[in-house]
């Protein structure tokens, strides 16, 4: 099995399942082959596999392989290819210690295919193109941000006319945002980070908008200590009041630097159903027990493991620290529980050392 | 809220009103009553001891065996004699000075090591200052049992102590309490200390006890062979396992001198397969909270990807050569690392600053004393033998200060 064969299979699978259909057998077969290849080709993943005493050739399903914790991206290069072949290096948001995770990307076409297919299915299922207003820096301002890269592609794939970037090198541009929101040219997709939405909320004062019918809001990302934490429900209520859209038109996106595929809430496609993340057919998302790493039963809370066929050049199995539970074929993301049990004394030291 | 505020105010006033009687009390009587209370809680056959063993596992998340160990080794040592010795260590800074005791000390307890409440409450009482202890609603079992046991041992002394909790934890109620106090002693994280410090009246004495961690230093000559390594691994394991590594003295890293004849990697393996394996049976770890589990998965995964991980059911030891320290999530996850020599160790410890609360050293007391004198400031107020990091004597210093520092002032008589 070669890298190019795996990449070709990943392209084909994403293309085939872009309509929302599922073929878990084909997905798992590809993940198994990719993980076996990565165990031999990606040094830190290979060490993890060896440490867990997994024989890549004997493993029969992706579940037989360990998932690489996201923290490893902060401490080691996770890639099968040399740095000279990097097309991009996406980096995680800075921590207080300055240690940022890095995800070297060799082949952006896989990223593009996965991102486009998921957004088309969950975020733009009803329109080919629409006005885009973006509350995030574009990729020129943030060349190592996977989110900025994705939104820049959205501007090409989904924007009607020129997308409006309301975030400039000076930060939020309130005039640009107001001008875009007050136009009469049809529905708007307002896309941005939670942090940016909070910032905009504070900057807009008493201004209220009523976005045209068919508009939608996509918010993504946590707060990363950059603003006070706001619960998802409270955040949606703020957005509804500020922009005049129904909460069923507000969609959360779940993506991370360490993954090339994204998940979206099902709200736009199934407004009457409880919110959950749609797991694209080429992604396997499983909450696991933090101690045993075995899948937890449906409805029980675990930490989310995500297997993504698009991660051919790094590690297809990623272990996050996010709390989640499985609900049918979807995932309910719980984030970090409020009042989480303190980790004891080491937490204070971690704060002091800035390792958070 | 107003009603709750009034109740807090009146409870604090009731305790403060006992100050004259407490001042008149004989020190040995106070030490005797606290010692009897501690003995009763440590005694598995006493009613309060049985109750402690029944309630504390749920309240603390520790296993029943770990709770029993803590009661024996940290509560049981508070004998009347040891408490009397502790009280006698309270010396005037100048001959002839007389104590100027406050009317009320408020102690804000931390939840990570439940037995810490014993000394936190005993110190003001031994200083003959009435005390109101504010516990978290989740972990108020031990302070309440202690208060009840002290009252049973000596009802008059018991009236000088109250334990309060504020469900939902409101700052307003805390402030009401603080307003009654001459001294506020806080056990908690840096952010808790900063928060409380900023809210106190200017004339209130603030006594901070911040969180931290421990580390272990194994000089090269302490590892001559497997026999020595095996014995050391047992002692390291006990320091790590106690309180499931949630304490301020719990070691998170073991640095081994690079010139040791017995390889540091093999010590890591022994700590896992010999030391922690044995304790997993004798003193099992408590349940792992899911939130901690997320951090544990990350910590272990990085260890496996960067070095070697000796991972078993309920504990793990990493070996990452001379790599940088990564703080573990606790719950029996510890790093073994190499360092060149003592100077290299100091360089690695320095960033921890005052957060390094304890340094276990695999050397005799003379060598430990010598090393303590060379430590860069301001590090490790406690340097102890490996295997005893979690069992300091009852009269141990508090962050390098006298245990009674700040709890009372002295009046100079000219």
Q: How far is CA A316 from CA A9, A57, A99, A296, in A?
A: 14, 16, 23, 20
Contact A291 B326 (CB under 8 A): no
Query: Given this model, what pLDDT does residue A291 score?
Result: 86
pLDDT digits (tens, 9 = 90+) for B231-241: 999 999 999 99
Query: Given this model, what pLDDT does residue B127 score?
Result: 96
Contact B327 A346 (CB under 8 A): yes
Residue with the larger pLDDT of the pair A170 and B257: B257
Contact B326 A355 (CB under 8 A): yes
pLDDT digits (tens, 9 = 90+) for A23-78: 999 999 999 999 999 999 999 999 999 988 999 999 999 999 999 999 899 889 99
Whole-number percent of chain A with pLDDT over 70: 90
> A342 CB near a chain B CB, below 8 Å?
yes
Contact A71 B302 (CB under 8 A): yes
* A143 pLDDT tier (thresholds 50, 70, 90): very high
> A97 CB near a chain B CB, below 8 Å?
no
Query: Given this model, what pLDDT does residue B112 score?
Result: 82
Query: Given this model, what pLDDT does residue B69 score?
Result: 96
Q: What DSSP designation does A183 have?
A: -
Task: Measure in Å the smallest separation between the Cα of A346 and chain B Cα atoms.
Answer: 6
Query: CA-CA distance, B104 to B247, in Å (whole number)?
Result: 28
Query: Given this model, what pLDDT does residue B67 score?
Result: 97
- The pLDDT mean for chain B works out to 93
Query: Given this model, what pLDDT does residue B378 score?
Result: 80
Q: What is the ipTM of this complex?
A: 0.77
> B328 CB near a chain A CB, below 8 Å?
yes
**Which chain B residues are Cβ-neighbours of A324 within 8 angstroms?**
none
Tokens 């009607």, residue located: A160
Contact A303 B311 (CB under 8 A): no
> A308 CB near a chain B CB, below 8 Å?
no
A52, with CB counted inside 10 A (0-12, 13-18, 19+), is: middle
Lowest mean pLDDT among A60-69, A197-206, B374-383: B374-383
Q: Is the pLDDT of residue A353 over 80?
A: no
pLDDT digits (tens, 9 = 90+) for B136-191: 877 899 999 999 999 999 999 999 999 999 875 678 899 999 999 999 999 988 88
**Which chain A residues are Cβ-neighbours of B326 within 8 angstroms?**
75, 355
Q: Is the pLDDT of residue A342 over 50?
A: no
Task: Measure in Å the smallest separation between the Cα of B91 and chain A Cα atoms.
Answer: 31
pLDDT average, residue stretch B16-22: 97
pLDDT digits (tens, 9 = 90+) for A262-302: 999 999 999 999 999 999 999 999 999 988 899 999 999 99
pLDDT digits (tens, 9 = 90+) for A224-242: 444 456 788 899 999 999 9
Contact B211 A349 (CB under 8 A): yes
Q: Is the pLDDT of residue A344 over 70?
A: no
Whole-number percent of chain A with pLDDT over 90: 75
Among A321, A337, A349, the residue with its CB nearest the CB of B327 is A349
Residue with the larger pLDDT of the pair B319 and B401: B319
* A345 pLDDT tier (thresholds 50, 70, 90): very low
**Closest-CA residue to B211 (of A340, A95, A353, A224):** A353
Query: Given this model, what pLDDT does residue B168 score?
Result: 58
Interface residue of A42, A222, A336, A342 to substitute, partner B, most B CBs within 10 Å: A342
pTM above 0.80? yes
Query: Given this model, what pLDDT does residue A223 score?
Result: 47
pLDDT average, residue stretch A15-19: 96
**Which chain A residues are Cβ-neighbours of B208 within 8 angstroms?**
none
Contact A51 B245 (CB under 8 A): no
């Amino acid at each position: 099995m070669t890298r190019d064969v795996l990449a070709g299979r990943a392209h084909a699978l994403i293309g085939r399942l872009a309509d929302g259909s599922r073929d878990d057998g084909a997905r798992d077969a590809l993940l198994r082959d990719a993980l076996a290849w990565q165990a031999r080709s990606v040094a830190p993943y290979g060490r993890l596999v060896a440490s867990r005493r997994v024989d890549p050739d004997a493993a029969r399903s992706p579940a037989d392989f360990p998932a690489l914790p996201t923290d490893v991206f902060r401490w080691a290069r996770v890639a099968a290819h040399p740095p000279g072949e990097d097309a991009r290096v996406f980096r995680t948001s800075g921590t207080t210690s300055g240690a940022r995770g890095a995800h070297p990307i060799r082949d952006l076409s896989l990223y593009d295919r996965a991102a486009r297919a998921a957004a088309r299915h969950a975020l733009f299922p009803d329109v080919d193109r629409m006005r885009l207003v973006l509350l995030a820096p574009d990729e020129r301002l943030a060349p190592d941000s996977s989110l900025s890269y994705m939104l820049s592609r959205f501007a090409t794939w989904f924007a009607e006319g020129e997308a409006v970037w309301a975030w400039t090198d000076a930060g939020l541009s309130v005039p640009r945002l107001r001008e875009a929101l007050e136009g009469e040219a049809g529905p708007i997709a307002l896309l941005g980070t939670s942090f940016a939405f909070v910032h905009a909320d504070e900057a807009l004062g008493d201004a209220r908008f009523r976005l045209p019918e068919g508009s939608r809001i996509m918010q993504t990302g946590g707060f990363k200590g950059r603003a006070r934490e706001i619960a998802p429900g409270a955040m949606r209520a703020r957005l509804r009041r500020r922009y005049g859209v129904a909460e069923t038109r507000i969609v959360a996106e779940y993506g991370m630097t360490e993954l090339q595929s994204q998940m979206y809430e099902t709200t736009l496609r199934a407004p009457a159903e409880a919110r959950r993340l749609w797991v694209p057919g080429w992604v396997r998302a499983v909450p696991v027990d933090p101690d045993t790493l075995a899948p937890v039963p449906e409805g029980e809370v675990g930490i989310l493991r995500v297997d993504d066929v698009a991660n051919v050049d790094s590690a297809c199995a990623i272990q996050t620290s996010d709390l989640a539970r499985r609900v049918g074929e979807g995932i309910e993301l719980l984030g970090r529980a409020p009042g989480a049990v303190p980790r004891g004394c080491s937490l204070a030291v971690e704060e002091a050392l800035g390792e958070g | 809220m107003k009603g709750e505020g009034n109740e807090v105010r009146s409870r604090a006033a009731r305790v403060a009103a006992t100050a004259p009687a407490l001042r008149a009390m004989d020190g040995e009587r106070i030490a005797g009553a606290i010692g009897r209370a501690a003995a009763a809680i440590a005694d598995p056959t006493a009613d309060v001891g049985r109750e402690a063993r029944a309630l504390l596992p749920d309240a603390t998340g520790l296993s029943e065996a770990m709770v029993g160990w803590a009661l024996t080794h940290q509560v049981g040592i508070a004998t009347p004699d040891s408490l009397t010795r502790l009280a006698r260590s309270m010396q005037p800074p100048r001959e002839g000075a007389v104590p100027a005791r406050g009317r009320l000390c408020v102690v804000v307890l931390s939840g990570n090591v439940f037995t810490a409440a014993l000394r936190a409450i005993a110190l003001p009482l031994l200083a003959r200052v009435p005390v109101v202890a504010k516990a978290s609603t989740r972990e108020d079992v031990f302070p309440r049992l202690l208060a009840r046991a002290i009252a049973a041992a000596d009802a008059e002394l018991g009236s000088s102590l109250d334990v309060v909790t504020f469900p939902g934890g409101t700052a307003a109620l805390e402030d009401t309490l603080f307003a009654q106090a001459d001294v506020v002693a806080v056990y908690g994280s840096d952010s808790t200390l900063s928060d409380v410090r900023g809210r106190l009246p200017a004339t209130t004495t603030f006594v901070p006890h911040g969180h931290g961690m421990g580390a272990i230093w194994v000089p090269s000559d302490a590892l001559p062979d497997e026999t020595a390594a095996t014995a050391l691994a047992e002692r390291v394991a006990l320091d790590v396992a106690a309180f499931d590594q949630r304490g301020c003295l719990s070691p998170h890293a073991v640095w081994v001198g690079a010139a040791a004849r017995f390889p540091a990697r093999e010590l890591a393996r022994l700590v896992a397969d010999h030391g922690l394996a044995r304790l997993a049976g004798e003193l099992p770890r408590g349940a792992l909270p899911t939130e901690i589990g997320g951090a544990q998965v990350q910590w272990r995964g990085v260890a496996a990807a960067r070095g070697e991980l000796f991972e078993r059911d309920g504990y793990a030891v990493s070996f990452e050569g001379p790599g940088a320290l990564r703080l573990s999530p606790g719950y029996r996850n510890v790093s073994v690392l190499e360092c060149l020599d003592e100077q290299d160790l100091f360089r690695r410890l320095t960033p921890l600053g005052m957060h390094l609360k304890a340094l276990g050293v695999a050397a005799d007391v003379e060598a430990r004393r010598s090393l303590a004198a060379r430590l860069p400031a301001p590090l490790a107020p406690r340097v102890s033998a490996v295997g005893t990091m979690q069992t300091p004597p009852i009269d141990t210093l508090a962050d390098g200060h006298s245990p009674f520092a700040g709890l009372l002032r002295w009046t100079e008589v000219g």
